[in-house]
Amino acid sequence: MIDLTMEEFILWMICVPILMVGFYTVAGSLQRRASQRQARRHIVICRVCGYLYHDRSRSRGPRCPECGRSNERGRSRRLG
């Protein structure tokens, strides 16, 4: 049998649920960030006309539906 004093029992009854809530909060936050990052991968902004569009293809340079120019995925690394 486990010997617990009343103080230890109360401490366990308070700390364990708080730790569980904290764990599920962190796990939910990480999952939400991952899904937002995945959704942002499919958004492309045309570097010429500024048109924002979704492209689910795996090509590195998808074409803009407005002006037809090829664009790079991700942030622009150009200066200026």
DSSP-derived letter for residue 64 is P
Instruction: Compute the radius of gyration of the chain from its Cα atoms.
Output: 25
pTM of the complete model beyond 0.95: no
pLDDT score, position 40 = 81
46-71 tens-digit pLDDT: 888 888 888 888 787 888 888 888 88
15-36 tens-digit pLDDT: 999 999 999 999 999 999 999 8
pLDDT score, position 5 = 92
Determine how many CB atoms are found less than 10 A away from the CB of residue 70: 13
Q: Are 45 and 55 in contact (CB under 8 A)?
A: no
